[in-house]
Amino acid sequence: MHKADSPRSLPTPFRFFLLLLTGLLLTGCSEGPWNNPYRASESGRSIVYSSFSERPKHLDPARAYSSNEYGFIAQIYEPPLQYHFLKRPYQLVPLAATGLPRVTYLDESGRPLPDDAPVEQIAFSDYEIRLRPGMRYQPHPALARDGEGRYRYHRLDRAVIDRLNTLQDLPATGTREVVADDFVYQIKRIAFPPLNSPIAGVMQEYIVGFGDFAERTGAAYQALKRKQGGKPWLDLRDYELSGVKVLDRYRLRIRLKGKYPQFRYWLAMPFFAPMPWEAERFYHQPGMERRNISLDWYPIGSGPFMLGENNPNLRMVLEANPNYHGEAYPEDGDPGDAEAGLLRDAGKRMPFIEKAVYSLEKESIPYWNKFLQGYYDTSGISSDSFDQAVQFSDQGDLALTDAMQAKGISLQTAVTASVYYMGFNMLDPVVGGESERARLLRRAISIAMDFEEYIAIFNNGRGVAAQGPIPPGIFGNEEGREGINPYVYDLVDGRPRRKPLEEARRLLAEAGYPGGRDRTTGKPLILYYDTTSAGPDGKARLNWIRKQFAKLGIQLVIRASDYNRFQEKMRKGTGQIFMWGWNADYPDPENFLFLLYGPNGKVEHGGENAANYSNPEFDRLFVAMKNMEDGPRRLEIIRRMVRILRRDAPWVWGFFPKSFALYHAWYRNVKPNLMANNTLKYRRVDPRLRDDLRRQWNPPIVWPILLGLLLLVVSAIPAVRVYLRREGSSAR
């Protein structure tokens, strides 16, 4: 036999295809559906399946700030507080702490003041936090010790480090109890300049000694860096942060300048979760970062889950933390929660799942199809799939389509704590400023910009037209007459109705632009809209906006640029009209009203007030309101502030988006909570039901493929006949 004919010496490509074919056949022989993207060993297990579309940039709690990052680290790290899972309006409850912080107000000389002391007298606020004893960190190599009690991996050889690919290459792990020092250490990390914590600026305003600490440690770090090169480890324990003190093993005190009640919301964010110094010591060994082993990649927490697999190019897996101290599912909720089955697990120890698998899914179409096949437990609704999922009844009510209902899919909606608005640059000579003329022009545009139509066309009805800057569900948002913007809406039958266009035209004429022309010069009024959405999707949106202005005879010029240029225009104040949004950090009106606070002006102060709005009365009220506890006095001040804003109209108030979430019948304990990020521990799945439905929904259908092959064979018959005839014919 010729060597080439031997099956042993098949060329590599053929061997590959044989193996591929074998793999496929084996896949086909497995029990579950053929299109199951998960491993067969995961069948029947209590696992949540979800996805992510973008690699989280940071998993370090001092640096992470975006929602996709919180999706992971909020399950791993435990700050002192958290939001109650079920109760609305949002309520803070203890997490790593045993109770809410005890706040003591002090005067300039450090003497305690009563709780109702006037804000002007309060020089400092002390937040005393008592921690839950017995919390332990997840198993981690940074905490592994040898027989003599020394840290096993804190002085690794460079050669060992150079061989590391993942953290799992270091087999030994250890743990220890979470103590107050760890919380203090983390606050120091927030202040440490090389870490670039996004909240360092805010905290510097409030935490006593924060700026001084940052300055000292920043200088010490630079000196060390000059000496050692690379990114050396500076032991922050050696530097005192005067405003943050360990009182004992389980108690710490944070001293703030003045009164800042919103600080308690920050305590519910992972920024304030404990961090063992050992982790920093471990990750700062030379060569670790080069092997991509860092705190930004491998977190170390005490929460219900730990990151078992971190391959953000493919999959991230959260596994139950074996050292988790345990927490009971809430025993009370809002009215209706018990009927909705949300209290069935009341008092039971969480978490209810063993792990959560997040797969990389960049495109919405595959994600949606996999959700329908049962391979993801929950899904949002993209514009492409909206009609397939949701329908409006004749009465305008929202309902799932029959196809969704047949699959047992449920829908949850909630107005998010976010706002999208159209801003006017108040520094602009035409639309900005405090003149009556500019104010009337802005009000006319506010009426013409029909955001109800915008929501219907571009958001599939997923949003609520805004009457002011504060979204529903946040203190200060009101219903009824006080909740209506009287400059844009009329109250008709208890509901807001947008004023007619004639009113906008009248205001425009009063502003000196009858029919959209300047009364003095006769020239048409041309305004400029700065945007980043110049693609095909954005075109319809931009045309619609242009049309709204055209209703008043105003010519709108679209100035499209990339996001960098757009931001630059905003920073320099060269934009005129723009659209932007804000997601709340915490459920407090201050977090929305500060977007219009003068000293936050973007051009002058680099703040978040992109409209550069400045009104002394509003600013004065803001200062008074921001440090107040919720109550009638605060509400009254907010009302006055909102009235000023409505009158001045620095924004067209835009809309508050509504989130729509679909979930399968096997996915339990779902209630939208737009503030809490650590909700994975509450979830429960029924894996048996999921497996049954997946099998039912995904039977492999082979006959079309066989039919196709058959057709190919049949269609080849004439060709074969021609071939045989040709081969059999004599030469011509």
Partner 1 sequence: MMAYIVRRVLYAIPILIGVNVLTFLLFFVVNSPDDMARMHLGMKRVTPEAIQTWKQERGYDRPLLYNDAAEGVGRLTDTIFFQKSLKLFQFDFGSSDSGRDIGYDISQRMWPSLAIAIPVLLVGLLVNITYALLIAFFRATYIDFWSVVLLVAMMSISGLFYIIGGQYLVSKLLHLVPISGYDTGWAAAKFLVLPVVIGVVGGVGAGTRWYRTLFLEEIDKDYVRTARAKGLSEPRVLFRHVLRNALIPILTGVVVVLPLLFMGSLITESFFGIPGLGSYTIDAINSQDFAIVRAMVFLGSVLYILGLLLTDISYTLVDPRVRLS
Q: Which residues bind partner 1 (CB under 8 A)?
A: 13, 16-17, 19-20, 23-24, 27, 33-37, 39, 54-55, 57, 65-66, 193-194, 196, 198-202, 289-292, 294, 296-297, 311, 313-314, 359-363, 365-366, 369-370, 373, 375, 562, 564, 567-568, 585, 606, 608, 698-702, 704-705, 719, 722-723, 726-727
**Residue 375 beta carbon to partner 1: minimum distance, rounded to whole angstroms:** 8
Alpha helix (H) residue ranges in 126-199: 158-163, 180-191
**Residue 97 beta carbon to partner 1: minimum distance, rounded to whole angstroms:** 25
Q: How far is 487 from 728, CA to CA, in rounded Å? A: 92
**Residue 702 beta carbon to partner 1: minimum distance, rounded to whole angstroms:** 7
Specify whether the CB–CB gap between 220 and 188 falls below 8 A: no
Closer to partner 1 by CB, 294 or 659: give it.
294
Nearest to 359 by CA among 64, 74, 55: 55
The C-alpha angle with vertex 197 and arms to 192 and 202, in degrees rounded to 5, equals 95
**Residue 728 beta carbon to partner 1: minimum distance, rounded to whole angstroms:** 11
**Residue 355 beta carbon to partner 1: minimum distance, rounded to whole angstroms:** 16
**Residue 603 beta carbon to partner 1: minimum distance, rounded to whole angstroms:** 13
Q: How far is 79 from 586, CA to CA, in rounded Å? A: 15
List own/partner pairs for 35-40 with CB under 8 A and 24 or more apart: 35/373, 35/698, 35/700, 36/375, 36/694, 36/698, 37/359, 37/370, 37/375, 38/357, 38/375
Closer to partner 1 by CB, 181 or 585: give it.
585
Residue type, 50: S
Q: What are phi and psi of 151, to 5 degrees?
A: -65, 125
Closer to partner 1 by CB, 512 or 607: give it.
607
Percent of residues in the chain assigned helix, strand, coil, to nearest 5: 40, 20, 40
Specify whether the CB–CB gap between 145 and 151 falls below 8 A: yes
Q: How far is 497 from 484, CA to CA, in rounded Å? A: 9
Closer to partner 1 by CB, 290 or 519: give it.
290
Beta bridge partners of 524: 517
| Residue 50, CB-side half-sphere exposure with 13 Å CA sphere | 20
Closer to partner 1 by CB, 22 or 405: give it.
22
Closer to partner 1 by CB, 215 or 490: give it.
215
Element (H, E) at 419: strand 418-424
**Residue 195 beta carbon to partner 1: minimum distance, rounded to whole angstroms:** 9
Specify whether the CB–CB gap between 191 and 205 falls below 8 A: no
Closer to partner 1 by CB, 240 or 608: give it.
608
Closer to partner 1 by CB, 197 or 477: give it.
197
Buried/exposed 283-314: b ≥16 CB within 10 Å, e otherwise: bbbebbbebebebbbbbbbbbbbbbbbbebee
- CA distances 693 to 98, 264, 405, 632, 683, Å, are 42, 44, 14, 52, 19
**Residue 621 beta carbon to partner 1: minimum distance, rounded to whole angstroms:** 23
**Residue 324 beta carbon to partner 1: minimum distance, rounded to whole angstroms:** 28
**Residue 116 beta carbon to partner 1: minimum distance, rounded to whole angstroms:** 31
The C-alpha angle with vertex 686 and arms to 684 and 688, in degrees rounded to 5, equals 160
**Residue 289 beta carbon to partner 1: minimum distance, rounded to whole angstroms:** 6
**Residue 83 beta carbon to partner 1: minimum distance, rounded to whole angstroms:** 19
Closer to partner 1 by CB, 325 or 695: give it.
695
Neighbours of 467 (CB within 10 A): 22
Closer to partner 1 by CB, 211 or 472: give it.
211
Closer to partner 1 by CB, 567 or 659: give it.
567
Q: DSSP code of 151?
A: B
Element (H, E) at 592: helix 590-593
Q: How far is 128 from 97, CA to CA, in rounded Å? A: 10
Closer to partner 1 by CB, 288 or 431: give it.
288
In angstroms, the first-to-last Cα distance of the chain is 38
Closer to partner 1 by CB, 209 or 483: give it.
209
Element (H, E) at 245: strand 244-248
**Residue 591 beta carbon to partner 1: minimum distance, rounded to whole angstroms:** 11
**Residue 722 beta carbon to partner 1: minimum distance, rounded to whole angstroms:** 7
Q: How far is 480 from 611, CA to CA, in rounded Å? A: 28
Token pair listed for 450 = 């029909």
| Residue 169, CB-side half-sphere exposure with 13 Å CA sphere | 12
Q: How far is 707 from 347, CA to CA, in rounded Å? A: 57
Closer to partner 1 by CB, 194 or 461: give it.
194
Closer to partner 1 by CB, 33 or 243: give it.
33
**Residue 117 beta carbon to partner 1: minimum distance, rounded to whole angstroms:** 30
Q: DSSP code of 621?
A: H
Closer to partner 1 by CB, 394 or 727: give it.
727
Residues in CB range of 282: below 8 A, 6 or more apart: 141, 142, 151, 153, 154, 288
**Residue 363 beta carbon to partner 1: minimum distance, rounded to whole angstroms:** 5
